[in-house]
Structure 1
Amino acid sequence: MIKTFLTQSLAIIVIALQSLKCLPTQAESISHSNSFPNDKIIYFLAQQRKNATAEVRSFFETGRLRSQDRILFQRPPSDVIPVQSQANAWQFVIFREGNSSFWMPPGILSQETVNLNTSLGVLSFRTLASNAEDRRYVVAYAESLTQEQLQNREVLFRAIVQKLAPNSEFTLKDDRAIAIKEFPGREITFESGEEIIVMRVYLVEQQVYALGVRYPKNNPLPRQTRAFLNAFELLEKS
């Protein structure tokens, strides 16, 4: 039985926040010692409340915001959007340093920087995870890859997956090519008797992005999983 998605699939150890009360009450950065050394890396800009409104309904159907909705959430008029202390809302997050954005499902949030020692050398991932009672969601990115790591993307993907693969209780069920914009990636699915893990890995210029979800077979919530995976987007570089 896998204990946590990060420890046995991403090999990433998270530092749990005391509670969601620790989160900022406006659109400000989260700073954590021994975690993100640079300020203003993560921004919480908006949340989707439990009763979804019509203007963001498309997100829950497809995992994508319409263009007009994206402007609404990425450019809030007052820059002050409250974050609820209870973990019952989707959080819209921007990795500013990672040039990416995504929607994080409800849960207790945790973050850390983790070094993944692959056959091609060390990859330093910055991670953010949402921890719920029976499932976990994680988004991570690593930058400043070496020339050796960038030389062959398929070799790089295999090296990462070898380190991310869960224990022997899980078997590989699917491995397919995907892409985000023009950038290549892989989607890998592992399955055990009780749980499923779905991971996506992308190579975008000199950065690697990884996101994944672990959930029980008896409560898969496929729409929520699809929305989380499909909501990941690359931001235009300033």
Structure 2
Amino acid sequence: MSSPTWVVLDIEGTLSSTHQVLVVLYDYARPRLGPWIDGHPDDPAVVEAVAEIRELAGLPGSAGTPELVAVLHDWMDRDQKVGPLKALQGLVWQQGYRDGDLLAELFPDVVPALKSWHGNGSRLAVFSSGSVAGQVAFFGHTTEGDLTGLFEHHFDTVNAGPKREEASYRAIAAVLDAPADEIVFYSDVPAELHAAAAAGWGTVGVARDGEPYGDADFGPHRTVRSL
């Protein structure tokens, strides 16, 4: 499909390096999660995240910030895609981008590809495990400027579902209001592409040199080294 109605894109390993996410962004968030929780005790998003952490980790209601942070750090160490962790990271990253501490770096081929798709009439969306708030902050503060105007929708594991489950892609298609065969998903993770294909989407595997899935078996999916 040369000009699909919708192009949906993963971020980590596809548009930006894994190092940018798992090292730069994670290292920025790690020491700031506790102070963020303590500094925003009345923020509904923080209150909800704290309650979810306690529930998921089996912590008592009396568990304080050190216990909560220990759970968050453990999830980060294991790269767990857990809702309350992603929500709090997103809030911290939003502030970091606003303060100028963070600047998103994309692979060199990304912005030309985004502008080409957009210019040819395709509509763009993102599906990432990072929170929607984090995604918007990321694309709003890149080395290539503010790219948020190129994207019409942002999806994460909260508003769409897990990235390796077919139902998540069906949910996204319903929001996009488009037939599955008019949507193409780009990702570096074969399991995500399998789930999207099961939902009827077109798929493209992005096998970038030096990335964790650069040498993965993408099976039936069309595979590219760059966009």
**Structure 1 and Structure 2 fold alike (TM over 0.5):** no
TM-score, with normalisation over the residues of structure 2? 0.28
TM-score (norm 1): 0.27
Report which of the two has the higher share of strand. Answer: 1
More helix by share: 2
Q: Which has the higher contact order (CA 8 A, sep 6+)?
A: 2
